[in-house]
Amino acid sequence: MLMPREEALKLVKEHLPNKNLRKHVYAVEAVMRTLARKFSEDEETWGLAGLLHDLDYEDTKDTPDQHTFLTRDLLEKHDGINEEIIHAIQAHADFVERKSLMDKAIYCTDPTTGFLVACALMHPSKQLSAIDIEFIKRRFKEKRFAAGANRDQMAACSEIGLELDDFLMISRDAMVEISKELGL
């Protein structure tokens, strides 16, 4: 049996005291769930990968080469986390080869959520629901805007067969669904 979401949430709250980091993993979870439904994959599995992918982020701030490895060690001590999820978590940071559709999905989703948050914050409305594709595409082309969001990694949505425009709007819509949690 898969780890229940409630239990994964407990781990998130325990390991990610930073509110913005927690919002980030909720956003990645939301997009991953939507993509799982779109591709008729297992929504709970994809959601868990999204929710848990940065569990060791704070603990590996000074040792980035350990990022995802601490998460792997921790999750291996818990029930309900399969090898598929662990592999996707390691794939998001490019530490293992992207093999499954879930690996490829989490890889492009990770920077995209942060990028969309930055877009919403830059919009006068400060609302995710207000940013349209033209606004998002303009920001995408501005290299200095949200420079931490790797554009090539976002464009790797081609690996899951999605055009960038579609992927950006699918991601935005998924995040709008949890706009209350995100505060945007």
- Which residue's structure tokens are 């956003």? 27
- Least distance from C-beta 70 to Fe ion, angstroms? 14
Terminal Cα distance for the chain, rounded: 34
Q: Is 103 in the site for Fe ion (CB under 5 A)?
A: no
Q: Would you count residue 110 as binding Fe ion (CB under 5 A)?
A: yes
Backbone angles phi, psi at 150, to 5 degrees: -70, 115
**From the CB of 106, what's the least distance to Fe ion, in Å?**
9
Question: Of the listed pieces 42-50, 105-113, 119-127, 143-151, which binds Fe ion according to CB under 5 A?
Answer: 105-113
**Alpha-carbon distance 108 to 157, whole Å?**
6
Assigned token pair, 133: 């594709």
> With respect to Fe ion, which residue has the nearer C-beta, 29 or 54?
54
Beta carbon of residue 28, minimum distance to Fe ion (angstroms, whole number): 6
Contacts of 108 (CB under 8 A, 6+ apart): 153, 154, 155, 156, 157, 159, 160, 167
- Residues 160 to 179 in contact with Fe ion, rule: CB under 5 A: none
The residue whose two tokens read 């709007």 is: 169
Site size with Fe ion, rule: CB under 5 A:
2
Q: Of 5, 96, 90, whose CA–CA distance to 43 is shortest?
A: 5
Nearest approach, Cβ of residue 134 and Fe ion (Å): 27
Pair of tokens at residue 81:
């986390």
Of these, 54, 68, 106, 154, which contacts Fe ion (CB under 5 A)? 54
Part of the chain binding Fe ion (CB under 5 A), chosen from 46-54, 80-88, 115-123, 150-158: 46-54
Nearest-approach distance from CB 124 to Fe ion, in angstroms: 27
Does residue 29 bind Fe ion (CB under 5 A)? no
| Tokens read off for 134 | 């033209």
Interacting residues toward Fe ion by CB under 5 A: 54, 110
